Amino acid sequence: MKTGIIGCGNIGTELALFIDKDRDFELNYLCDINIDLAHELQKKIGNGQKVTSIWDLIANSELVIEAASKDAVKDIINSKNIDKKGKKLLIMSTGGLIENLDSFKKIKNCEIYLPSGAIAGLDAIKAVSGKISSLTLTTTKSIKGLRDALFIKKNNINLNKLKAKKTIFEGNLKEAIEGFPQNINVAATLFLASRFRILR
């Protein structure tokens, strides 16, 4: 299966190294907004992968893997070449789907996969999809994992002053995605599984 990876950071690199060793997949394309990262990964694997644009990757890959950001998700699901039979899409940045639900729900032919990640019992949640009226998620993060969050910067929160557990944010999912785009994929996946039967 011809495969392309969008996003060549830590997650994309680990996925690329794994896929390159799997005989069922053929890693053909790499893409990153930082082209140097893509070339670094290309050299690390060294099996003839092509560094290309997101549009070329989507058009020519049977399996498209997003490991970049919620902004990349918007470009992917709005691409004219994604909604085709035989095309498969693995999305890591599930928060990007929440911000683009209208485009997401228009996709009829492409198979979309969302990794369960840190969520145990996701199948059980999907089994009662449509019957859940309320969801609350409490998440604990390390200071290191929050340093670059937009909410932290916007509100000038000094994380170094925290000496014990403290609630720094309470809000709905869309507010969480906006304020913590790199930390909210678990909540987004949970929301999607509880609301939409189209998910596999």
Judge contact between 116 and 189, C-beta under 8 A. yes
List of residues 6+ apart from 163 with CB closer than 8 A:
none
> Whose structure tokens read 């906006």?
178
Residue 123: per-residue pLDDT? 67
Judge contact between 151 and 180, C-beta under 8 A. yes
- Within 10 angstroms of residue 92's Cβ, the number of other Cβ atoms is 23
pLDDT beneath 70: ranges in the chain = 117-124, 126, 129, 195-200
Residue 89: per-residue pLDDT? 97
Residue 118: per-residue pLDDT? 60
Domain ranges of the chain: 2-113, 122-192
Instruction: For residue 51, give the amino acid letter.
Output: V
Q: What is the CATH number of domain 2-113?
A: 3.40.50.720
- pLDDT tens-digit map of 97-142: 888 889 998 999 999 998 876 666 666 676 776 777 777 888 888 8
Please tell me the pTM assigned to this model: 0.74
